[in-house]
Amino acid sequence: MATIKDVAKMAGVSISTVSYALNNNSKVSKHTKQKILEAARELNYQKNGIASDLKRNSTRTIALIVTDLAGPHYSELVKGIQEVTLSKGYDLLACSSMGEESSTAVKFLTEKRVDGAIVLAYNISEDIIMQSARKEFPIILLDRRVDNEFVVSIEVDNEEGCYMAAEYFIEQGHRDIAYIGGNALDRLHTMRVNGYESALRKHGLDSDGKLHQFGVFTRDNGYSMTKMLIAQGKLPTSIMYANDEMAIGGMKAFKEHGIKVPSDVSVIGFDDIELAQYVRPSLTTVMQPKYERGALAAHVLFQILEGKEVDQFYKFPTQLVIRDSVQKRQEKE
């Protein structure tokens, strides 16, 4: 990758003159600026934050790295982060971590192309997080923990949320409770499964054969996994989905097969996305504070950049939002 020094050498000027020209400073003549721009184009020079301000060594930009930018779950989270970021005079860059180890998301971390990062991505390895975090480059992890003094973890109580959901099913007379979840290596998935299984164990119920896993937390996968469950024959009386998107996909599959929610099968999701209240029947779900979590993540990151002391771990409570997708069973199974 070409550097500002390479551009200066090709154009026959000083590094400071190149910096002035690239920042459109009037100190540089039109002729010299043109010569510098031609050299930069020929070398395919990419100006980055560190090179653009040698004195400050700051990009005034933070990165939000998520596994997948699609999906309604992220909108409130991003809003919380963005409002704090803008109030500090910084820009926010959001990118997906999908792809190779050389992806833009990884470069933001390893090459310090931003001043800090908020990471909600299970596929960014712990090694990359550990190697990248520094006092001057803080990383805020959402729904993950890494043992590093320059990494702060912020979680919602995923385990308690799914425990409450399973308890609600049991209170409504359900004993055959299935769970459709995500990637088994994802900490978020693990915590939610733990909550589900803890509630079943407390009431002497068996989760064997009722746990269905797959790779991603999407509506399409909720739909396809539910279709597979229907094809197996006997349905459980209730299903907990690892998020609302999957639950909505599952409800679509049930409707196509003439299976009624909640009279034939009851459903609970997780997240409380906006769409959950508008589907029919409206979706009972576990609410997590998305906007508040995003705002806290950004506040903590800026506190670190400002040299302030912060806690290493924060946890938000969850809340069960009862709507119409769960029906009480009159008889015990």
Q: How many helices (H) and strands (E) are present in the chain, helices listed first?
A: 12, 12
- Protein fold of 61-156+289-316: Rossmann fold (3.40.50)
The reported pLDDT for the residue numbered 173 is 97
- The answer on pLDDT for 56 being more than 60 is no
The reported pLDDT for the residue numbered 59 is 84
Domain 4-52: give its CATH code. Answer: 1.10.260.40
| Same fold for the pair 4-52 and 158-288 | no
Q: How many angstroms separate the CA atoms of 325 and 261, rounded?
A: 6
158-288: CATH architecture: 3-Layer(aba) Sandwich (3.40)
pLDDT tens-place string over residues 156-174: 999 999 999 999 999 999 9
Following DSSP, what letter does each residue of 274-314 receive, concatenated?
A: GGGGTSSSPPEEEE--HHHHHHHHHHHHHHHHTT----SEE
Give start and end residues of each alpha helix (H) in 47-154.
Answer: 49-52, 73-87, 104-110, 126-132
- The answer on pLDDT for 107 being more than 80 is yes
Q: How many angstroms separate the CA atoms of 159 and 242, rounded?
A: 11
- Both tokens of 145, joined, read 């923990």
Q: How far is CA 177 from CA 170, 209, 224, 276, in A?
A: 9, 10, 19, 21
Length of the chain: 333
For the chain, what are the domain ranges? 4-52, 61-156+289-316, 158-288
One-letter amino acid of 86: L
User: Which range, 35-44, 51-60, 173-182, has the best average confidence (pLDDT)?
Assistant: 173-182
Mean pLDDT of 49-58: 49
Q: How many angstroms separate the CA atoms of 235 and 58, rounded?
A: 57
pLDDT tens-place string over residues 218-268: 899 999 999 999 999 889 999 999 999 999 999 999 999 999 999 999 999
